[in-house]
Amino acid sequence: MINKALLKKDLKLLGRDPMTILLALLPFLLEGLVQLILRLNPFQYLPFQPDLKQLEQLLRGMLPFFGGMMGGWMAGFLILEEREDDMIPLLRMSPLKNGELLTTRLFLAAGLGLAANLLLYAADRLLFGPDRGILLIFCLSALTGPFCLLVMVRFGKNRVQGLTLAKLSSLILLPPVVMLLTGKTPFGVFGILSPLSWLMDGFRSALGGDFSLPGPLAGTLYLGVLSLPLMRKRE
């Protein structure tokens, strides 16, 4: 169940945080940076010349995951701050029902990730034009937010540990990046390691004009299955 009062309080706290303004602008800054790199091609001065089409797929394909993870990190730090200040026992004594604290924050993480990714999609469409299936990938990738939140809450005791875990959780991007650079399909070894490989493959196929829905949906389901064991930990 979602506790509307808690959700409203969290949104007010985030609204007063200057970091929220930065995160709202970050999607456009990231998309602009990708566009700048592709236009200037600074790699032309290197001994090796990367394929620009592959580079575009890599840079654009990573952005939806960053948007989703940012939502998870923001919601995760709220819980870790409460845990650090020993506020969790007090919240449990409040009218909150069993599990509402975590489920509300999971909803918040998904919502923030979706909002960030919709901004990213708007910037991507503005700079690169429409591509069939891209919007769905941006929406599904927002679910990396709840996964990152669960990792932080499951293993972190305070904000310092949470920051370390946030950095470590970004390593889930490694398999899809390697998959894209090597040209392997998500059915290979790296696809087994990360469900994001399926989403990245869907993004790549969408850019190629041959979007297929089953792969991204399977990756989203896979991500949900990996999240279930993390929910057994206390709030």
The whole-model pTM stands at: 0.80
Half-sphere exposure of 125 (CA within 13 A, CB side): 13
The residue extents of the domains of the chain are 4-232
Q: What is the pLDDT of residue 114?
A: 92
pLDDT at residue 229 tops 70: yes
> For residue 133, what is the DSSP state?
T
Q: How confident is the model over 87-127, as pLDDT tens digits?
A: 776 766 677 676 777 888 899 999 988 988 888 888 778 77
The pLDDT tens digits for 174-216 are: 666 666 666 555 555 555 667 777 777 777 777 777 777 777 8
Across 71-182, the runs of DSSP E, i.e. the strands, are none
d(CA 205, CA 203): 5
According to the model, what pLDDT value does residue 235 have? 46
Query: Rounded CA gap, 149 and 154, in Å?
Result: 8
